[in-house]
Structure 1
Amino acid sequence: MARPPHPPRGDIGRRVAARRLQLGLSRQDVALRAGAAPGYIQYVEEQDATPGIGFLLRLADALETTVRELTGGTVDLPSGLGRAAREARMVELDDTECWALLGDHGVGRVALTQDDGPVVLPVNYQVLDGEVMFSTGERSPLAGAADTEIAFETDHIDDAFSKGWSVLLVGPVRVVEDEDTARRLREAAYSTPWAGEGRDHVMILAPRRITGRRIIVNDAPGDAR
């Protein structure tokens, strides 16, 4: 049986690989853009490489980002610190585009109302046939919101070009009562919750409304002029 690809080991390599896949580029594509050999792109992604600043500048440009992003300088900063771009415009997304942006898994936020007021919580999510699954703690605020209506939002912000998108789902959330079904859903999920163990309470959001918006910047890479 073929072995799975070796995961990137260095922090820069992980960020390069993630950004490349986010843009839908091959290593050959990035190599051509950065003026490098595809083998070197592979080396940067898979080894604990420390490229020089000259190559990092070319690589950041090839990946439509910044050296600071690739080297982790913004890891603890909130998204959206860049200034608004000139001639930006906002467009509404249809349902198909929204689901495509959600993908099959990721990290988003749920908004719900508690006795002492509203709360917004980060969650790992998994998309399942037009519904969204969360695994949470049995005594968490999200678990307490069973059989109520919640909002779920996820987005992507590109600080380098001051653009991005957001998708919002609103609908009732329910508990998966059958433990065998819940176990199968947990095992099929892309990953366990980032927040750690003890979050085996499986919940499903069935959206009754889905909306999305994208900010387009005419002179940014990838956007129509």
Structure 2
Amino acid sequence: MRAHLGDQLVIESPATGAARRDGEIVGLHHEDGTPPYDVRWSDTDEVTLVFPGPDAHVRHLDHGPPGTDTSEAEPASEAAPQAGAPNPGDVGRRVAVERRRHGLSRGEAARRARMSPDYLAYLEEHPADPTVATLIRLADALGTTVTALRGAGVDTPPGQGHALLHPHLRDLTPEECRTLLSTHGVGRIAVTTPDGRPAIIPVNYEIVDDDIVFRTAPGSAAAAAVGTDAAFEVDHMDDASSQGWSVLAVGPASAVTETAAVRRLVQHAHTAPWAGGKREMWVAIRPVRLTGRRITPADGQAATGH
């Protein structure tokens, strides 16, 4: 069985031949047009992932080669929303933002995601609950993640998903830890405040000459790390796949005060501190120990949540 975007999937009763259900194929998972398909059912307007059985067949429309999108023009809905038009859902808004950020038309984004441009327009303009398979293809086409398209649980902590059926926890090498620290990001510094209380403070950090550096304000909780052996942690969790990693760097923390060194750090910085305010004190941590752990599926288990 092979299909094109826009073809109709028909499921018939084996006894009578009467159509029991039909729907538009709005998403392909293989470039050659073989199953499974994302189908928008005509009776419910819902989109589901379908593995056609022997009672199903494809009603073809006039298309090019399987798996291609022959639509040249942008749907009219690409224009500014008209009064009274349905409001997009959160997923649709994030898809539209990522698509525009990459300078992609709906037609091109739909082609990359192997789905109908009309269905992509529907996702961007209406509250919708696309399948995980659809989100995976969209995330791949837009260079992002399923978690990001879902909003990454903006107001909830990570780890809301279920654990893997057979998780594998392994230690990371120092080289792997350095790779995961990357060039910059957000990490957490553990300190003892001047009043003797423990605290963990999130900060924007940079990696400069293997040092972990961040900006703060004199007298702040994060500044209490200066002159101590500091612990600095960075992690990433993917709720969609129930996987993640963490890296812990331990080493002496010191204030950077030399004018040329401060100027170099300012020029090197990828971003200003997200917290805003006047934060002109630079703190550097020189890691003497790098450790980390990663959770992945055990051999043979699909990399999806349960």
Question: Structure 1 CA distance, aligned partners of 2:164 and 2:253?
Answer: 37
Which residue of 174, 181, 188 maps to 1:95? 174
- Could you list the per-position Cα deviations for residues 89-108 of structure 1 after superposition, in whole angstroms to 9, with x for gaps in the alignment? 10111011111111100001
- Counterpart position of 2:206: 126
Give the alignment of 1:25-174 within 5 angstroms. 32=112, 34-36=113-115, 50=125, 53=128, 58-62=133-137, 63=139, 66=146, 69-72=148-151, 74-114=153-193, 115-174=195-254
Question: Structure 2 CA distance, aligned partners of 1:172 and 1:198?
Answer: 24
| 8 Å Cα contact 1:168/1:210 also seen in 2 | yes
Evaluate the alpha carbon distance shift between residue 72 and residue 92 of structure 1 in structure 2; reply closer, same or farther with a 3 A threshold: same
- Residue type of the alignment partner of 1:186: V
Task: Count residues with an aligned counterpart.
Answer: 195
Q: Return structure 1 stretches of 4+ with deviation > 3 angstroms.
A: 10-18, 28-32, 49-59, 63-66
Alpha-carbon offset, residue 180 of structure 1: 3.1
Alpha-carbon offset, residue 145 of structure 1: 2.4
Residue 204 of structure 2 aligns to a residue whose secondary structure is strand
Which residue of 297, 300, 303 maps to 1:217? 297
Alpha-carbon offset, residue 124 of structure 1: 0.3
Residue 236 of structure 2 aligns to a residue whose secondary structure is strand
Question: Structure 1 CA distance, aligned partners of 2:127 and 2:136?
Answer: 14
Evaluate the alpha carbon distance shift between residue 54 and residue 84 of structure 1 in structure 2; reply closer, same or farther with a 3 A threshold: closer
TM-score, L = length of structure 2: 0.56
Gaps of 5+ in 1: 1-9, 21-27
**Structure 1 vs Structure 2 CA RMSD:** 3.2
Question: Structure 1 CA distance, aligned partners of 2:230 and 2:131?
Answer: 43
Evaluate the alpha carbon distance shift between residue 57 and residue 161 of structure 1 in structure 2; reply closer, same or farther with a 3 A threshold: closer
| 8 Å Cα contact 2:204/2:273 also seen in 1 | yes
Residue 106 of structure 1 aligns to a residue whose secondary structure is strand
Question: Structure 1 CA distance, aligned partners of 2:293 and 2:177?
Answer: 9
| 8 Å Cα contact 2:185/2:206 also seen in 1 | yes
From the two aligned structures, give the one with the greater helix fraction: 1
| 8 Å Cα contact 1:174/1:203 also seen in 2 | yes
Question: Structure 2 CA distance, aligned partners of 1:172 and 1:17?
Answer: 44
Question: Structure 2 CA distance, aligned partners of 1:128 and 1:17?
Answer: 32
Q: Percent same amino acid among aligned pairs? A: 36
Which residue of 237, 255, 259 maps to 1:175? 255
Residue 140 of structure 1 aligns to a residue whose secondary structure is coil
- Counterpart position of 1:191: 271
Evaluate the alpha carbon distance shift between residue 17 and residue 80 of structure 1 in structure 2; reply closer, same or farther with a 3 A threshold: farther
TM-score, L = length of structure 1: 0.74
| 8 Å Cα contact 1:88/1:216 also seen in 2 | yes
Question: Structure 1 CA distance, aligned partners of 2:98 and 2:187?
Answer: 19
| 8 Å Cα contact 1:12/1:72 also seen in 2 | no
Higher relative contact order (CA 8 A, sep 6+): 1
